[in-house]
Structure 1
């Protein structure tokens, strides 16, 4: 809490920082209004300074009312449900700071400020959540050129705060030389007024990897999603996907038999989960902390394909300055078939290009020696700084 120790050089900024840290610690213990005054006593003989913090505690404080101001479009309950404290709870400065982070992470507001306002009752305080709204809808048209997709065309419409209820609606069409995607999604962040998010996705895509692997695929399907916060730092997401794939490879059936094991149309029915742990100091622009994510999908709940697909991802942040942040990232994955099935080429991992800088698309992994085409891998591991 005290940002200095015996023998350190005296700095007035550190003295004030100590006041802020002690005030925050007192607030975390439930003391909203505390008076902390530092006192300096110089010792000319040994050229030192004694620093004493005089702390005057107030009574333990409870929250009387929580008011949301500045939200002309967003409903009050959208902000309130991100608060970790409610009326009647003991005041806790740490939970208020984290609540501010959650409200800001919604992306609906340009600025969020939480203020303590004295109440008419001595042992209570009012909380005022002041927000400044910003546009949440996007209508985009785009065209461009990239080393990955060559020419790209994109059109989409997104509303992240539909009807002011915090619902997310998106429709998007994009096409390039490698892939074409059409997807429509809807997400309800508080399904049935519970702390559970739910969503549905409809999608259609075509992938032309013939330049790198000599295979093409067309996929159509839908997905269902559920998400649940286990605590303030971890989140569990569940999903179900039903997808129909139409695969073609090269020009001969022999290539299908040898390399893909199953050309033509196949149905994939899978259930999966994502478990994430997030201890970053900021969800938008992290400068300290870490994040870990684990994903698994189990295909074989009906359909023609059977496999277990597992992936893990980890991030670590350390900020030396606001504009100098060290970010370490690690990723790994594996897909294992079962029931006598083989892994179809469109389910394998292709890394390179946008997924691993310094390599061309599908530039990492096993290849067909006769054609040099990439075959995709069943296991991968990547580390970046």
Structure 2
């Protein structure tokens, strides 16, 4: 390119010396072209045979040919009655290969480089590719990666390109320091961030990989955290990142200015639209006077008001929150202004940057399309939805003027990120009888870039083997409703609490319909078969009772049901605020053997008791009932409860029991209810990057209601069981893990207790 630039300047100097007079030529001759057709070259020349031209036209033609990127050198000269255009073609790329890469596969590297097979070879493009590959390695925790490029000439003007990569050792983050924070400790602020310092689990979680985009996202998370807790003037003053070559670690220092803490003052809804009645809108306001200022509540109120106003037929109305600070009293008076906005229409929505996710997956998160009235609140809502999907590293929505003054173009820039996970885990569990377990799971949240959810998992232990598959299409028939299915196979062998061998298999088809952003309903059909294949030979003295309680053979349950869910939970992996309520009912008897109605309800309330110390309170309650329709409820259809609801008890540890000759066995019950009070807090002494938290709790509940044959030695009581204890919670790379230590306070003599319990997985 440097040689071409010198040649271009030389021609300009020659042209400058030519007498500025008009000339004509009878023909245009192209020389030096090998692969590019001569007529293609002539199309970029602005000079036409028989028409006068001068130095300006020659200059314009040379620029146009260079701009194509097809030529390394261009000369134009007049020879006799002809105009001779001499070109030197750029080489064409043959193949593009990567050598030395092990941590990052070829497929990932290929998406970054702009040099492609059969494309034009350009030194500027090669230099850019080297920098892009280095940046990719830097984002994946290898800042020391070195990249060089090698070109290998081949026949017919083709050149192979080889990127030689030395990946280097893995970098990390030695410390993250905050300066200027007073209301919240540095430990509390680091918990808000997704980037973590290097620890013994970093090789699995890879959360210690430094990335400018992730750091900027974390700065935004910190800002939103402060804004949710009353600090309306908060700002990040500076962020300093230093790299220590000797330690191969980054050091991050974030300087903040917290400002004062505010509360909501007077709150009102005002409108400049004469025919709009604002009185009904007041019930949608979530920012109540006297409460600590919370920007999230301002956003929710703005969206709720905007939807209500649009529903009234005011297509161009906009809702703007205006906060007037009272610096002396540290209050903010909120006024939600409803105005008739400019009559702007969406000309088009452009999606940029997505290399994997399909365009329609992104477009469907917008509550507007081409030709609709433009509304900024709906744009902000779409941006938040796209970020919450977890498909993208970054999401940025901007606008630019359209083809006419009343049109606007929406530009949505995204950057895809990995959405799949493969997990292999093992350990010892006290659930389901205890023993060693192993699990292998594959999860993809954005299957084939279509926004679909797919999970396959296989697990097993000493007495159980399970296979699960789940698939969900979140936008069925192009509408905001989900369609999915679940499949299950379980092989259960006899244990101390289960005197039979049983195989279970079944599936569920579900259709979900959102009512609001927080409330949805799901309809389902379930088909399940259980095969009780045998009893343990050591239980021969109880065979008569087992034949009534756990009869051998196959039974099929076919049911339809629904599930209502209301949730404002902020984070399902690590909840700290919000309400979760789920009511479900199943009606069995649509064919099959079972005929009953099963009803359950689960409710939880999380609240940050001390946000500055990350202390969280939890109130949890649940209840259930199963009622036979014209027949008794089979024992194996009963509810079974234990340490998962009242810690301090074994699995199947409380509720109705059959007292056998040598032992007793759980028969469950048709009714249950339970409640929990819990306080969670960061574990002292341990570094916060370990992700360890502690908890203290109190549980209480009961399970009762044997609905079967009389004459057996059955123990069944509705008395309250209770326990207290403490827990260690670890948000590990394998998922949430929890160890509970509990002491039963009240119990029946036949209940089975257990001091220690280990469990894994989310609670929702």
For the criterion TM > 0.5, the same-fold answer is yes
Aligned to 1:161: 446
- 1:343 has 2:634 as partner: yes
Match of 1:369 among 659, 666, 677: 659
Assess if the C-alpha contact under 8 Å between 1:142 and 1:155 holds in 2. Answer: yes
Q: What do the CA deviations read for 1:103-125 (whole angstroms, capped 9, x no partner)?
A: 34433234545x45354577776
1:311 corresponds to 2:600 = yes
* 2:493 match: 208
- Correspondence for 1:328: 619
How far the C-alpha of 1:349 sits from its partner, in A, is 1.7
SS at match of 2:668: coil
Change in Cα spacing, 1:14 to 1:69, as seen in structure 2 (3 Å) is: farther
Greater relative CO, 1 or 2 (CA 8 Å, sep 6+): 1
State how far apart, in whole Å, the 1-side matches of 2:543 and 2:520 are: 45
Deviation at 1:274, TM superposition (A): 1.1
1:109 equivalent in alignment to 2:398: no
- Asked if 1:176 is matched to 2:461, the reply is yes
How far residue 314 of structure 1 moved from its aligned partner, in angstroms, is: 1.0
Aligned length: 368
Higher CA-based Rg: 2
Alpha-carbon displacement from aligned partner over 1:300-350 (angstroms, at most 9, x marks no partner): 1111121111111112122231722222211111111222233232x2222
1:278 equivalent in alignment to 2:592:
no
Q: Which residue number in structure 1 is paired with residue 129 of structure 2?
A: none
Alpha carbons of 1:281 and 1:34: their partners in 2 closer, same or farther (altered >3 Å)? same
| Structure 1: stretches of 5+ with no match in the other structure | 5-10, 43-47
Question: How far did 1:264 drift?
Answer: 1.7
Could you say which residue in structure 2 is the equivalent of 1:82?
365
Taking the aligned partners of 2:475 and 2:335, their CA distance within structure 1 comes to 46
* Match runs of 1:40-59 below 5 Å: none
Aligned to 1:7: none
Instruction: Tell me how far apart the structure 2 counterparts of residues 293 and 86 of structure 1 sit (CA, whole Å).
Output: 33
* SS across alignment from 1:373: strand
Q: Structure 2: how far apart are the matches of 1:51 and 1:344?
A: 60
Q: Which residue matches 2:430?
A: 147
Distance 1:309 1:301 in 2: 14
Cα deviation, residue 155, structure 1: 2.1
Under a length normalisation based on structure 1, what TM-score does the superposition of the two structures give?
0.79
Are the aligned partners of 1:319 and 1:325 in contact in 2 as well (CA < 8 Å)? yes
| 2:354 equivalent among 68, 71, 74 | 71
Distance 1:177-1:58 versus aligned 2 partners, 3 A rule: same
How far apart in 2 are the matches of 1:55 and 1:268? 54
Show CA shifts across 1:81-129 (max 9, x none): 2334445245253x5555445334433234545x453545777765554
Structure 2 counterparts to residues 123-134 of structure 1, below 5 A: 127-134=410-417
SS at match of 2:477: helix
CA distance in 2, matches of 1:221, 1:68: 41
Q: Tell me the CA shift for residue 13 of structure 1.
A: 5.2
**Cα RMSD (Å):** 3.9
Change (3 A) 1:14 1:116: farther
Report the Cα distance in structure 1 between the residues aligned to 2:617 and 2:294, rounded to whole angstroms: 29
Structure 2 spans left out of the alignment, 5+ residues:
1-229, 232-258, 265-291, 307-315, 678-764
Offset at 1:49? 9.8
**TM-aligned CA deviation for residue 213 of structure 1:** 3.4
Higher helix share: 2
Q: 1 or 2, which has the higher strand percentage?
A: 1
Contact residue 645 and residue 674 of structure 2 kept, 8 A: no
Q: Tell me how far 1:218 sits from its aligned partner.
A: 0.6
Cα deviations by residue, 1:170-225 (Å, 9 ceiling, x for unpaired): 22211112321112333222223233322233321112353113233211233322
The TM-score with structure 2 as length reference comes to 0.42
**Whole-Å Cα distance in 1 between the matches of residues 500 and 472 of structure 2?**
33
CA separation of 1:169/1:263 partners in 2, compared to 1, >3 Å: closer, same or farther? Answer: same
Residues in 2 aligned to 1:304 and 1:169: alpha-carbon distance in whole angstroms: 31
Secondary structure in structure 2 of the residue aligned to 1:212: coil
